[in-house]
Structure 1
Amino acid sequence: MQETNEKFESVQNDKLSIKIVSNNNPYPSADIEQKILQPRKLSSYFIVLVDSGSITYNLDLQDITLTDGHLLFAMPNQVFIPPPKTANLKYFKVLFDENTLALLPQQFPFLVNPLNSQTIIFANATRERVRKVFEILNQILHIDEHPTDTEIVLSYLSSLLTELNSAYFKNTAPINILNTNLSKFIEFKLVVETHLTEQPSVNAIAEKLALTPNSLYRIVKEYSGVSPKDFFTNRLMIEAQRKLQYSPLSVKELAYELGFNDPDYFSRFFKKCTGKSVSEFLKARQD
């Protein structure tokens, strides 16, 4: 497995790390397509809209099938296995990195996936708007002969992410998507990501977020359906499986890298959480 910068055969803006691919500018050769189809650890945000047709991606070891009007978004560090292009598939894909995201004038909470659903299904009117923004980005990044100003590219990327952010939260309770509880849950997820291998206690995380353990439990349970401890454990095991996918680490090295002092305990913990031993997991993936 490779860790890659997603070097698709698409045009990259000189000042921004943003790329776009569609069925109108597909991969130019079988060799390049074969390289692209290898499992990888994402280093960029990846968003794909299926305009028509059907295709199945594998994200963090889970198959996700997209059909007409479905959108998938993936985040840096997720294990991503793209499928070959299917017949009669019409799609748009866009990739951009953290530095490009930081240039936008607002935050987009959906990109940390607080509702634990990385697919969005659009209403017809929204789908049409989103498709048009993809078409414009495709034109200015791929078709136009002269480079487009960075501000214009960022403006359309911001419009796209604003549409996706609104659609992502559309089916939640009619509350401000930046309410205090959601903001705290997003902070919790960021703390988990930042301090994952330190394995902080739930009490330590609650203190860092200026919450009581009971308040943290209530907020995390509301948005994830599990307790803070289970959320942390699930995320730690996803990271273990990611590293087993792309890193040539021994079980001992992996245990230490994930913050376990005892490799044997890590092995038992991995089997308890995933239902498979490390060797069984690796064999299943090889098969």
Structure 2
Amino acid sequence: MKKSEIKELRNEQDFKDFYLKDASLTFCEECNAISYEHGNGFLEIARLEDLKKQQKQIEGKQTRRKFYSIILLTEGRIEEHIGHLKYEFKPQTMYFVGENQLHAVEYWSEDVKGIYCMFDADYFLLCIKHQIKLNQFPFFDLDKEPFIQLSERETGMMEHLFWKLNSEKCQKTTFNDDLLTRMFLNVILLEAERIYNKKTTHENFSLSRKEQLTSQFQLLVNQHFIEKRQVSDYAYLLHVHPNYLNDLVKEVTGLPASHFIQKQLLQEAKSRLLQTNDTVSMIAFELNFTDDSYFNRFFKKQTGFTPLQFRKNHKH
């Protein structure tokens, strides 16, 4: 892979600007007339063959995405770097690129066909009450293989689910329609997880020492973020110096270690604001903030809204 500057892609427009010749291209013509929007986040679905027609010469150019991608390849061949490994994907393959993962496209064949789906964590957050967290899906885990080989039946089922998801997305006009769209996304992820767990052998995955430590750090954050807020807490658990931990996490993910602690705390706060009727004071106490004002300052700094404003804007 060529050495190049790592480009940060924050959303679907950044994706278009980076990969496509015509950045104004819509992913779905049917959605142009739809004005209803709700909540944070985004979801986009496109045909691989349409993206291929508009694809720039981006081979080997590295990116780090602030969103998640699911790709279903039905025809053709694709080569991409995900993390530090290069993969060759053939028909009836589903592969995944997690948030903040280093990524580069190396080759898409001219006859490529399939489905490209991208969404961010905030979109998934509003999916259903008490949903599992995105980082619990094995294919988004840094130390698991990011793909599954599908049978003909499984490929057909996934194609149907994706186009049902796209159909619901295009036709939504109410909050309930939008909720149904989010639930279809959840179904796709749960079906993919079921197939993944059935087919994947649990062998040690080839990771560098830094990637192993980063994966262990992220797992510990998921388990202890409420009571452990300092990078030094996790460095102690991992038997390394805090500065070393911060440096290696930043090298692997592009972000400081503290970002993952704050992000997990923020996602939990958002979930409780939207999925429970607990008061802000109760949530602040449950998340181990010393007082309401500290929780309010933390939340507003991260989102631009107070907890009550966020709940009012997004909870129905």
TM-score (norm 2): 0.53
The answer to whether residue 72 in structure 2 is matched with residue 80 in structure 1 is no
- Structure 2 CA distance for aligned equivalents of residues 23 and 258 of structure 1: 35
- Structure 2 CA distance for aligned equivalents of residues 242 and 160 of structure 1: 26
Residue in structure 1 matched with residue 205 of structure 2 by the alignment = none
Q: Secondary structure at the residue paired with 2:184?
A: helix
Question: Which of the numbers 175, 190, 196 marks the counterpart of 2:222?
Answer: 190
Q: Give, in angstroms, the shift of residue 122 of structure 1.
A: 2.0
Q: Secondary structure at the residue paired with 1:150?
A: helix
- Stretch deviating more after TM superposition (79-88 or 19-28): 19-28
Residue in structure 1 matched with residue 8 of structure 2 by the alignment = 3
Q: Secondary structure at the residue paired with 1:117?
A: coil
Residue in structure 1 matched with residue 94 of structure 2 by the alignment = 71
Change (3 A) 1:136 1:88: same
Question: Which of the numbers 7, 22, 31 marks the counterpart of 2:47?
Answer: 22
Q: Secondary structure at the residue paired with 2:100?
A: coil
Change (3 A) 1:139 1:69: same
Q: Give, in angstroms, the shift of residue 52 of structure 1.
A: 1.8
The answer to whether residue 141 in structure 2 is matched with residue 101 in structure 1 is no
8 Å contact 2:172–2:178 — kept in the other structure? no
Q: Give, in angstroms, the shift of residue 26 of structure 1.
A: 2.7
Change (3 A) 1:69 1:235: farther
Q: Secondary structure at the residue paired with 1:83?
A: strand
Change (3 A) 1:49 1:193: farther
Residue in structure 2 matched with residue 59 of structure 1 by the alignment = 82
8 Å contact 1:196–1:236 — kept in the other structure? no
Question: Which of the numbers 124, 145, 149 marks the counterpart of 1:117?
Answer: 145
1:170-212 deviations in Å (ceiling 9; x for gaps): 1469xxxxxxxxxx9985363599989925457x54xxxxxxx
Structure 1 counterpart of 2:116, one-letter code: K
- Stretch deviating more after TM superposition (16-25 or 92-101): 16-25
Q: Give, in angstroms, the shift of residue 147 of structure 1.
A: 5.5
Change (3 A) 1:170 1:146: closer
Unaligned runs of 5+ in 1: 174-183, 206-227, 248-256, 260-287
- Structure 1 CA distance for aligned equivalents of residues 173 and 52 of structure 2: 21
- Structure 2 CA distance for aligned equivalents of residues 92 and 38 of structure 1: 22
1:71-95 deviations in Å (ceiling 9; x for gaps): 1112111111123531211121111
Q: Secondary structure at the residue paired with 1:25?
A: helix
Q: Give, in angstroms, the shift of residue 162 of structure 1.
A: 1.4
Change (3 A) 1:152 1:229: same
Q: Secondary structure at the residue paired with 1:3?
A: strand
The answer to whether residue 191 in structure 2 is matched with residue 159 in structure 1 is no
Change (3 A) 1:167 1:74: same
- Structure 1 CA distance for aligned equivalents of residues 120 and 155 of structure 2: 24
1:238-261 deviations in Å (ceiling 9; x for gaps): 641554xxx9xxxxxxxxx679xx
Change (3 A) 1:160 1:169: same
- Structure 2 CA distance for aligned equivalents of residues 24 and 238 of structure 1: 36
- Structure 2 CA distance for aligned equivalents of residues 242 and 114 of structure 1: 10
* Equivalent residue pairs, number: 210
Q: Give, in angstroms, the shift of residue 137 of structure 1.
A: 2.8
- Structure 1 CA distance for aligned equivalents of residues 152 and 78 of structure 2: 20
The answer to whether residue 251 in structure 2 is matched with residue 240 in structure 1 is yes
Change (3 A) 1:58 1:68: same
RMSD value over aligned CA atoms?
A: 4.2
8 Å contact 1:19–1:96 — kept in the other structure? yes
- Structure 2 CA distance for aligned equivalents of residues 86 and 17 of structure 1: 28
8 Å contact 1:6–1:42 — kept in the other structure? no
- Stretch deviating more after TM superposition (234-243 or 52-61): 234-243
Structure 2 counterpart of 1:76, one-letter code: E
Change (3 A) 1:61 1:196: farther
- Stretch deviating more after TM superposition (130-139 or 144-153): 144-153
Q: Give, in angstroms, the shift of residue 151 of structure 1.
A: 2.0
Residue in structure 2 matched with residue 285 of structure 1 by the alignment = none
- Structure 2 CA distance for aligned equivalents of residues 104 and 131 of structure 1: 21
